[in-house]
Amino acid sequence: MTPSNWQSDDAALLKKLRTDKRLDEHAFARMTSTSIEQIVQLENGGVTAFHTPMLKYQLGRKLLRSLGTDTSQELAKASHTQLAEAPAASPMISGADKKFALSTLDKIAMLSKRDLNPSLLSEIKHSLKTLWINHVVFSRLVLVLIFIFIMHTFFRSQVKQFGQYVLT
């Protein structure tokens, strides 16, 4: 698997792993929450079920991982192969520096699998909590104002009646 490009050997590996686990397209799609059309296009080619080639690649990696393949090792092998095959145009990296650079790239690849963005669920919970607090404060304020208005109206009429009663 080359980075960000779904290849025919990736498709063959996905199909082989799926059939080895005795899963048909329907069961595999249901198990991984993907469409049957996407499974078929990942295994047999096609791009109409995906918005971009990167999405196709990412889904393919996810499905390979769900079948038990460690795609990070395959990516590391591919990146090592590509770096080894690349012409040495720059004299900056050579020997031990090249090994250091490759190990650093491996660490970056491992870290890039992490989800560094906060989850949408926690953002929604925070928004709802803030909304609820504002709602409670506002509704209590409205109740206090209504109570004050009623009490003012009631006591004002009682004071007038009491004052007229005393004066008469």
Q: How many separate domains does the chain show?
A: 3
Q: How far is CA 12 from CA 42, 90, 119, in A?
A: 9, 37, 34
Residue 149 forms part of a structural domain: yes
Do 2 and 42 belong to one domain?
A: yes
Do 106 and 42 belong to one domain?
A: no
141 confidence band (pLDDT: 50, 70, 90): very high
Q: How many CB atoms lie within 10 A of CB 17?
A: 17
Q: What range does the domain containing 138 cover?
A: 127-168
Question: What residues pair up with 2 in beta bridges, in sequence order?
Answer: 5
Flag the least confident range among 29-38, 87-96, 99-108.
87-96
pLDDT at 7: 83
Condensed to tens digits (0 to 9), the pLDDT of residues 23-57 reads 888 888 888 888 989 999 888 888 888 888 888 88
pTM, two decimal places? 0.43
